[in-house]
Amino acid sequence: MSIDNLREQIPDYAKDIRLNLGTLASETTLTDQQKWGAFLASALASGNATVIKAVNAEVEGKLSPEALTATKAAAAIMGMNNIYYRSTHLMSAKDYGTMPAKLRMNVIGKPGVEKVDFELWSLAVSAVNGCGMCLDSHEKVVREGGLSTEQVQTALRIAATIHAAAAVLTGEEALA
């Protein structure tokens, strides 16, 4: 399975998602590592097995073993951080936002790939998981790392489209 196979599974009522998957797969504003890492990290965050398998098949040979591991690590660590930081931000009691998280996050300091790539993947996962604090934090790092607003937007478009594809397929599976 690949992105093309995934596109074929998207029903006609979600044709725009199918078209966006094709457009984003040929996107050139990001390096291939950045792009395919954003695809895979977003797919992992989506939790839909069909999407994860299709994207994983697509990235085979396009990501180094180190980048593949770092992409998975970004999805994993942000799965934890997004919940924690979104919660502390949304709670009325602001005390929690000033407390140290006391959660291990060592991979952020040594992700095994270029910091800007890892941060971009973390940004994409944060978009899928809806954590504004994390989005702001990672956007700041990637912009300071030299990425443009257009490149950040591309990662956000990938996250949004992958999330939508996962939602459509999860809905279809439930209706079957």
| Active site members | 131, 134
Q: Directed axis angle between helix 32-46 and helix 15-25, to 10°? A: 150
Find the Cα–Cα–Cα–Cα dihedral 172, 86, 16, 121, rounded to 10°: -110
Report the number of secondary-structure helices (H) and strands (E) in the chain: 10, 0
Q: Long-range contact list for 137-141, CB < 8 A, 24+ apart?
A: 141/115, 141/116
- The neighbour count for residue 67, using CB atoms within 10 Å, is 24
Phi-psi region of 64 (alpha: psi -120 to 50; beta: other; left: phi over 0): beta
Nearest in space to 39 (alpha carbons), one of 174, 167, 165, 169: 165
R_g of the chain, CA atoms, integer Å? 16
